[in-house]
Amino acid sequence: MHLCSILVFYYFGDGPMFRIALVTAALLAGNACAQDLEALKLDTRKNALPVLPKVVGMMQDTVAREGVSQAIPVCKEKAPQLLQAQSAKTGWEMRRVSLKTRNPERGTPDVWEARHLADFNIRAAQGEKPETLEVGEIVTENGRPLYRYMRAVPVGEVCLNCHGPVEQLDSSLRSQLAKSYPHDQAFGYAKGQIRGALTVKRPL
């Protein structure tokens, strides 16, 4: 279990030594917390991020072999299956979310996720590379500690086939997308923009 260490010192009386002890305890606790958070981030990144290139590779192969329209069921069904398999392997909850959802049932962010997605957009606008944007925090949900992690997912070349400017999409493809995703908002992206994020909930 990775939790931020909390060091508590008990002293009687007052004076310089008491105050020094409190400052020392706070510094030690802060260092331990930073180390725990970094270890959690590295381990979560190691076990969660390999899913992303698998999804992209699956989409690229499908488009190359069968055409863009056949990538719709791959993105809708097979990509979530990859995430579910990794979730079962790790015991973590994993999904893809976006501020412009294609499938609201699966991709609508909660408050924590929406806040960090908005922050990712701000950071990208200020010059940070979208593919490097991530965040990890320990939070409490229903009285239990969780480690929450998010990594931005930028728009790649293959993504533009279905997520680019709507006027550039083939009419038959738009029709198929409308049938599969009646509440679709995920159009109008350019290559390199933040499409959304991979998000992880990891019990502690």
Torsion from C-alpha of 133, 137, 141, 143, nearest 10 degrees: 170
Largest CA distance in the chain: 79
Query: How far apart are the C-alpha atoms of 11 and 17, rounded to whole Å?
Result: 9
- Whether residue 189 is predicted with pLDDT greater than 90 in this model: the reply is yes
- Whether residue 15 is predicted with pLDDT greater than 60 in this model: the reply is no
Q: Tell me the mean pLDDT in the region 85-95.
A: 96
pTM for this prediction: 0.81
Measured from the Cβ of residue 1, the count of other Cβ atoms closer than 10 Å reads: 6
C-beta separation of 194 from 130 below 8 A: yes
Taken in order of first residue, the domains within the chain and their CATH numbers are 1-47 (no CATH), 49-203 (3.30.450)
Which of 17, 12, 36, 42 lies closest to 145 in space, CA to CA?
A: 36
Give the H/E segment covering residue 124.
Answer: helix 111-125
Query: How far apart are the C-alpha atoms of 141 and 4, rounded to whole Å?
Result: 16
Residue indicated by tokens 């996720």:
113
- Whether residue 16 is predicted with pLDDT greater than 60 in this model: the reply is no
pLDDT tens-digit series, residues 108-136: 999 999 999 999 999 999 999 999 999 99
Q: Is 65 exposed, middle or buried (0-12, 13-18, 19+ CB in 10 A)?
A: exposed
Specify which residues 162 forms β-bridges with.
none
**pLDDT at position 8:** 36
